[in-house]
Structure formats: structure tokens, C-alpha cells
Structure 1
Amino acid sequence: MCESVGFTNVRTYIASGNVVFDSKLAEASVKSRLERCLKAYAGKPVGVAVRTSAELAQILAANPFKSAPANRTVAIFLDAPPPADALAHASGQRDEEMALGTREIYVHYNNGMADTKLKIPAAKTGTARNMNTVAKLVEMANE
């Protein structure tokens, strides 16, 4: 799919929609091309989050929960900066820790995500990746 719209050096990582590729197009063009292809394939809209290799590296570096296990800390990727009051509107918080990023919301799930009741309305249309995945994508993007 990525190659069909002109992207090169395409590589995927695990079966959860992680794709690394080269493109000279602007983010909006990359996003719209992928979303059109995915809609044609799936028969319904599928959102896409796009980040450059430098942005992924910055997301990893800015992780406010670096001392926490990487598999229990996620970056929820958003299309735009989260509202300043995004965390105030979260509900169901127990022992989770949250922080705002540039176009991400970071969440550390102290006891894992399996039983969480946390809901963050500002993250409704986002997609989450744990820090192990972000680190692997940074590595792949720099190859």
C-alpha cells in the first residue's frame, strides 16, 4: 500500500499498523494518501498518525516516565497538540500517571493496561504505542 502511493524504503514493525518509509511529501499529503488507501481497503475511514524520524526520537527523549517500564508507558499519538486541560477531563484514573507532550499524551500504567478504567476524551481519536515500540521505530527510521 505504501509503495503504491510512492513511498520508498518501506518497512513494517509488528502487525499493528507501524510503518516506516521514506517520502519527500509533507505530512498532510502523506496522511491523506494513506487514509485514502486505507478507506478503499477497509471500506471505512481509518485514521493515520504520521511522525518524522526526528519527531519520534523527540517523543522518546521527552518521555516523562523514563524510569518506568517501557512496556507500561505509552505515547498516545494525536493529530494536534492536546488541549492544556486534557488531563483534567480524564476519568477513571487510579494509579496511572499522565503528562502532555507536543502532539502526544503520555500515560504510565503502573499496574498495566489490562484492567485500567482510564478514559482521556482528548485521546479518543489517537493511537497509542508503548515506549518499546517507539524505540524500535526510531531505530528502524535511522537505519
Structure 2
Amino acid sequence: MATWIGFLRAINLGAKRKFAKGDIAAAVEGAGFTDVETYINTGNVRFATTMRSRARIEAALEQAFRERAGFEVPTICFTQAELREVAAQAESFGHDGRHYVSLLKEPPSAAAVRALEEASSAEEMAKVGGRAVHLLLGENYHEARLTNAVVEKRLGVATNRNLNVIRTLAQKWC
């Protein structure tokens, strides 16, 4: 059995996309996964499975979530080793400002990575490592040009977490 961490995109935003932790856990268990645990109500779930294909795991979860929640829930899964690597990458930047991580569903092309990273400025930077985009933002982070929406436009489906959540999940679940 392998342990995976799933990150659900765009839930608990507004009145129509509510998906509580308990419902998430029930959907994951109902899809046949075991050792299920959620962390805060932003769509983070750990589970175990004998399945090996990330794409098949994501598809099974997305179907279970659609059936339980009544709407599409894009899901992005990482192995424990991959999540540890994302957290370790973050430490290598030595950034003291706001740090968000956009987790990508698919690996980006080299050209797309280059284009995104070239959009960086002195106030905000994007650093891509595998399926993680580290958004290093300054004091005016609420006015940032580099956002998860920009990441998705250039690199595909992504969900965003702040670095504290990534660190906590890596420590707690890896």
C-alpha cells in the first residue's frame, strides 16, 4: 500500500462549492481508499491505496467527489516523497515574504516554465520545480500579478496552498 496526498481544487469558495472535510473523507473511503485523514477545510486528504497510477487515482477520486458533492472537483495527487520534495524546495529559496505553492496536475513543458519564470519581477517571483510552482511574493501580495490563475493559464490545472500548509502536511503525513 502506498500513501498519497490529494489536494482538491476550488472547494469551500462561495455558497455553491461547499464540500466539508467529513464528506471528503466519506467520498475517499467510498471509492475504496483506506487510512483516510483530512487536514483543515481547504481540501487536503491523505489516503492509502494499492493503485499505482496517479492518473487513475485522481480519476477515481474526481468521480467520487462529483457523486458526493454534486460538482466537479479537480484533484491533484502527490506521493509522500513528492510532497517532501516540494517542502524541501521551498526551504532552498530563503524567501522571507509571502510564499504560496501552486500544485500542478500535469508536469509543465520547459517552454511554459521558462515563460512563467520570465514573468517574475523584483517584487514577485515564480520558481518551478516539477509539478510545484513556488510563488514568492512581497509585501503587496494581495496585488500580485503572479497568482494561481496565471499559473493555470500558462501551465494547466493547479491548486494553491500557502507554504505553512505545505510544511505542516509534509511533517504530519510524510
- Normalised to the residue count of structure 2, the TM-score between the two structures is 0.70
Does structure 1 residue 117 correspond to structure 2 residue 140?
A: no
The match for 1:43 is 70
131-140 or 46-55, which deviates more:
131-140
* One-letter code aligned to 1:122: R
1:7 matched to which residue of 2? 33
1:52 CA displacement: 0.7
CA distance in 2, matches of 1:44, 1:16: 16
Alignment correspondent of 1:141: 173
Q: What's 2:83 paired with? A: 56
Deviation at 1:34, TM superposition (A): 0.8
Extract unaligned runs of 5+ from structure 2. Answer: 1-26
The alpha carbon displacement at 1:90 in A equals: 7.4
Bigger fraction of residues in helix: 2
Q: How far apart are residue 134 of structure 1 and its match? A: 1.0
3-state secondary structure, aligned to 2:38: strand
Matched residues in 2 for 1:98 and 1:79: separation? 17
Q: CA-to-partner distance for each residue in 1:20-54, whole Å, 9 max, x for gaps? A: 11112122222111100122233332210000111
| Structure 1 residues not aligned, in runs of 5+ | none
The number of residues matched between the two structures is 141
- 1:22-37 alignment to 2 at 5 Å? 22-26=48-52, 27-37=54-64
Report the 3-state secondary structure (helix = DSSP H, G, I; strand = E; otherwise coil) of the residue aligned with 2:141. coil
Mapped pair 1:21 → 2:11:
no
Q: RMSD over aligned Cα, in angstroms?
A: 2.4
Question: Percent same amino acid at aligned positions?
Answer: 28
Q: Which has the higher strand share?
A: 2
TM score, norm. by length of structure 1: 0.83
Match of 1:105 among 127, 133, 158: 133
**2:163 maps to which residue?**
131
Change (3 A) 1:116 1:22: same
1:102-125 C-alpha deviation (Å, 9 max, x unpaired):
112111111253222333322452
Matching residue of 2:11: none
Please report how far the alpha carbon of residue 88 of structure 1 lies from its aligned counterpart in structure 2 after TM superposition.
2.0
Q: 1: distance between equivalents of 2:92 and 2:137? A: 10
Q: Secondary structure at the match of 1:49?
A: strand
Distance 2:143 2:66 in 1: 32
Provide the secondary structure at the position in 1 that maps to 2:78.
Answer: coil
Superposed displacement of residue 65, structure 1: 5.5
CA distance in 2, matches of 1:92, 1:98: 8
Secondary structure in structure 1 of the residue aligned to 2:110: coil
